[in-house]
Amino acid sequence: MSKKIKITPEVVKEHGLSEGEYQIILDRLGREPNINELGIFSVMWSEHCSYKSSRRHLGKFLTKGKRVIQGPGENAGVIDIGDNDAIIFKMESHNHPSYIEPYQGAATGVGGIMRDVFTMGARPIANMNALRFGETNHPKTRTLISGVVAGIGGYGNCVGVPTVGGETNFHKGYNGNILVNAMCVGLADQDKVFYSAAKGVGNPIFYVGSKTGRDGIHGATMASAEFDDDSEEKRPTVQVGDPFTEKLLIEACLELMETDAIIAIQDMGAAGLTSSSIEMADKGGVGIKMNLDKVPQRETGMTPYEMMLSESQERMLMVLVPGKEHLALEIFQKWELDVAEVGITTDTGRLVLTHKRKTVCDIPIAPLADDAPNLDRPHVKTPQRPVLAADDARAPDDYNAALNTLITCPDMASKRWIWEQYDRHVMADTVDSSQSGGDAAIVRIHGSNKAVAITTDCTPRYCYADPYEGGKQVVAETWRNLTCTGATPIAITDCLNFGNPERPEIMGQLVGCIDGMNEACRAFDYPVVSGNVSLYNETNGVAIPPTPAVGGVGLIEDLSIFTTLSGAQEGDTLVLVGETQGWLGSSLYGREILGHENNDDAPVYAPPPVDLTVEKTNGDYVRSLIKNRRVKAVHDLSDGGLTMSVAEMCFAAGIGAELKAAPSGVTTQGWLFGEDQARYLLAVDENSVNPVVSTAQAKGIAAQVVGKITGGRLSAAGAFDVSLSDLKDANERVLPDLMASKA
């Protein structure tokens, strides 16, 4: 095959390479590439693998910190949580495959992110996700929800890693491109972290895991292009997952990692054998020679091109210490996994592949990585949006109805239908999960008295209106979520989901969000340690709202002191920390009650600004209150403002609340539904009210009593008064009704 296919301009174009990129290949090789070589360049230089549109901007991120052991550039980020424990984590997108084949797309997204984590020596201890679907009445949405949720559960449940939390939003902007972002958090010993650099010459290269089939060929290229109406024809490029093999692979790899046999290890993710071998060789500064006849194959007659570009799942490549091969053989045979010596590291700096005794690829490795395109795509700043004046944000006709509308809008609806399909308790270290509806999941470090708090978040509404402020807000909200548990926020991973970067306004969103996120990371000393970029989330020229999802991780050093959303008791006082002006621009209230998105020409209003100094001061204060056991329950204020925050706290406690009237200078609707940032709702014992409020005021932090936890109704003076159980029922019914409906 390699000799027969002529490299015409059409073939080059089909591989997603520009003329300029092809010219570089010709220069570096000094000859025309064969089809195998072209395929390898094509996937390595795809947007998905090379980050060619985003790389120069990602370089701005704060990536270092006193707890950072490994920042971006490896399979996942590594942080120090003390006692020789390391937390290894990353979030990654699987958007394009999940839209085409929701079950397998989502399942393999979970499988892939777990491999990134255990490749580095960590046992996965928690999975999270951030999901975005189209409107609930879009004909595809229900099928996509049920497939994605079943796929996430089907994979994670079987592997035995708890899926402890996440977020799910719905918006018409995702009708043609859903987002499935999966995050995995693992635990390793700091002195047993494994990296991917294939150091040393003459070392054996081992292939372990599943056999290679024809699935997923050019998946990375698919993820680097827009969809059109024929995208379903791309179904054969979606990989098929086998969580059973993944579980065996985890156990086998961790068992082998207990020995001293491994020099380097890398999972075969996007672009499979190609990217794993090239990345290992490039980082180690060596060449690689592989005999493709040795690759375990699931199908007969596979060509070198297919083997190198296959994205078959549950496969790893490792470089072993010579003489230790028997250890790998014994362990992988015990776990009944394929294991084969497929090659050796060399000093040539080249990737040389043989197949049926012929050389089918011989290319220098450095250009694949070093010469990967690093584009400075034109970008235009998103225009400044007008601020929605308080007087222009009208009150609802009926506060009870408005409350009901918000609590039953799909974004606010209970996600029980989703998370009850995820095993949240396996491994028996889950302390808090989606079950409580809290701000962050809490997972104990096995056998210790400490825990990690984990959250995922993004408010695309804000990012669309103002990428820079929205980017700040995403990072700030995850920091706030972790703070709500009492955890010290440590670091983040991100999954930057955007449209087509070849359009300057989309590129402007990406750059704006990155700059905003970075500013917040620096303000909180909260670095980015890993992440992924997913571009071309567009269908027929319509891009998704900018969605830079962030996964945050924090440390709870003593599990005898933490808080959740639950825990408020009858008679507790509700204290609001943070200042409320009643910001309703780009708010949930604006969208759901004022109809701000009802037509495409309607003005977009500026989102709430994030004052990072105030954010930090308020958060540090709340964390100190938790440490001093001054609070019983904590919840941040986000979508839907004070009202939604109180309602969720009441749902968790099973007790109602009475809210006082808006203070002077703030409209009632702004007070109840405004989305001003840097705010926390605390349930405080009567005796703690004065110390909590007066200490705050002494520090210049806004804090005030806003109501109390009591009875069976949720009421706000001069506004709503509803039965809590009716409200909860309505909130719980939304998703089950949607998924059961026949329409």
Partner 1 sequence: MRTAVISFPASNCDRDAFTALHQITGREPVMIWHRETEIPADVDFVVVPGGFSYGDYLRSGAIAARSPIVQDLKAKAEKGLTIAGFCNGFQVLTEAGLLPGALMRNERLKYVCKPQSLSIVNGKSRFTSGYNGQKNVVLPIAHHDGNYFADKKTLDRLEKSGQVVFKYDENVNGSARNIAGITNAAGNVLGMMPHPERAVDPLHGGTDGIALFQSVLDTAS
Q: Does 157 bind partner 1 (CB under 8 A)?
A: yes
Q: Does 329 bind partner 1 (CB under 8 A)?
A: no
| The binder of partner 1 chosen from 64, 326, 425, 699 (CB under 8 A) | 425
- Rounded to the nearest whole angstrom, what is the least distance from the CB of residue 657 to partner 1 in the complex? 24
CB 617 within 8 A of CB 667: no
- Rounded to the nearest whole angstrom, what is the least distance from the CB of residue 417 to partner 1 in the complex? 9
CA-to-CA separations, 342 to 94, 460, 539, in angstroms, rounded: 29, 45, 40
Q: Draw the binding track, 546-585, toward partner 1 (x: CB under 8 A; -: no contact).
A: -------------x--------------------------
Q: Which residues of 53-82 are buried (b: 16+ CB within 10 A; e: fewer)?
A: bbeebbebbbbebebbbbbbebbbbbbbbe
Q: Does 424 bind partner 1 (CB under 8 A)?
A: yes
CA-to-CA separations, 179 to 144, 209, 319, 456, 458, in angstroms, rounded: 11, 28, 34, 13, 12
Q: Does 427 bind partner 1 (CB under 8 A)?
A: yes
Beta bridge partners, 297, equal 212
- Rounded to the nearest whole angstrom, what is the least distance from the CB of residue 425 to partner 1 in the complex? 5
Q: Does 126 bind partner 1 (CB under 8 A)?
A: no
Whichever of 306 and 338 has its CB closer to partner 1, that residue is 338
Whichever of 354 and 566 has its CB closer to partner 1, that residue is 566
Residue type, 720: F
- Rounded to the nearest whole angstrom, what is the least distance from the CB of residue 202 to partner 1 in the complex? 34
| The binder of partner 1 chosen from 244, 359, 392, 571 (CB under 8 A) | 244
Alpha helices in 354-393 (DSSP H): 365-370
Which one of the listed residues 94, 96, 379, 596 is annotated catalytic? Answer: 94
Sign of CA dihedral 555, 560, 566, 571: negative
| The binder of partner 1 chosen from 31, 428, 664, 742 (CB under 8 A) | 428
Alpha helices in 525-603 (DSSP H): 588-592
Q: Does 629 bind partner 1 (CB under 8 A)?
A: no
| The binder of partner 1 chosen from 39, 72, 165, 243 (CB under 8 A) | 243
DSSP state of 596: T
d(CA 88, CA 84): 13
Q: Is 635 a catalytic residue?
A: no
Q: Does 247 bind partner 1 (CB under 8 A)?
A: yes
| The binder of partner 1 chosen from 103, 133, 206, 335 (CB under 8 A) | 335
Q: Does 542 bind partner 1 (CB under 8 A)?
A: no
Residue 309, token pair as written in the block: 């570009």
β-strand pairing of 68-70 with 77-80: antiparallel
CB 141 within 8 A of CB 102: no
Q: Does 444 bind partner 1 (CB under 8 A)?
A: yes
Give the residue among 598, 622, 657, 562 at the shortest CA–CA distance from 172: 598
| The binder of partner 1 chosen from 248, 278, 625, 682 (CB under 8 A) | 248
Stretch that binds partner 1, among 147-155, 176-184, 209-217, 483-491 (CB under 8 A): 147-155
Stretch that binds partner 1, among 73-81, 155-163, 274-282, 488-496 (CB under 8 A): 155-163
Residue reference for tokens 């065996």: 248
Q: Does 420 bind partner 1 (CB under 8 A)?
A: yes
Q: Does 635 bind partner 1 (CB under 8 A)?
A: no
Whichever of 430 and 483 has its CB closer to partner 1, that residue is 430
CB 629 within 8 A of CB 561: yes
- Rounded to the nearest whole angstrom, what is the least distance from the CB of residue 431 to partner 1 in the complex? 5
| The binder of partner 1 chosen from 222, 361, 431, 659 (CB under 8 A) | 431
Whichever of 241 and 516 has its CB closer to partner 1, that residue is 241
Whichever of 404 and 435 has its CB closer to partner 1, that residue is 435
CA-to-CA separations, 592 to 132, 136, 325, 381, 719, in angstroms, rounded: 18, 14, 62, 27, 17
Q: Is 48 a catalytic residue?
A: yes
Q: Does 698 bind partner 1 (CB under 8 A)?
A: no
Q: Does 336 bind partner 1 (CB under 8 A)?
A: yes
Q: Does 333 bind partner 1 (CB under 8 A)?
A: no
Which one of the listed residues 15, 48, 171, 596 is annotated catalytic? Answer: 48
In a 13 Å sphere around the CA of 328, the CA atoms on its Cβ side amount to 26
Q: Draw the binding track, 280-319, toward partner 1 (x: CB under 8 A; -: no contact).
A: ----------------------------------------
Residue 43, token pair as written in the block: 């996937």
Q: Does 674 bind partner 1 (CB under 8 A)?
A: no
Question: Most distant CA pair in the chain: distance in Å?
Answer: 84
Q: Which residues of 271-296 are buried (b: 16+ CB within 10 A; e: fewer)?
A: bbbbbbbbbbbbbbbbbbbbbbeebb
Q: Does 159 bind partner 1 (CB under 8 A)?
A: yes
3-state secondary structure of 693: helix
Count of residues near partner 1 by CB under 8 A: 31
Stretch that binds partner 1, among 48-56, 182-190, 236-244, 485-493 (CB under 8 A): 236-244
Give the residue among 576, 571, 572 at the shortest CA–CA distance from 666: 576
- Rounded to the nearest whole angstrom, what is the least distance from the CB of residue 556 to partner 1 in the complex? 11
In a 13 Å sphere around the CA of 464, the CA atoms on its Cβ side amount to 17
DSSP state of 490: E
Q: Does 742 bind partner 1 (CB under 8 A)?
A: no
Q: Does 651 bind partner 1 (CB under 8 A)?
A: no
Q: Does 423 bind partner 1 (CB under 8 A)?
A: yes
DSSP E strand boundaries for 386-487: 430-432, 441-444, 451-457
DSSP for 215-272, written as a single string: TTTTHHHHTTS-B-TTGGGGGGGS----HHHHHHHHHHHHHHHTTT-EEEEEE--TTH
Whichever of 170 and 419 has its CB closer to partner 1, that residue is 419
List residues near partner 1 by CB under 8 A: 150, 153-154, 157-160, 242-245, 247-248, 335-336, 419-428, 430-431, 435, 444, 446, 559
Catalytic residues: 48, 94
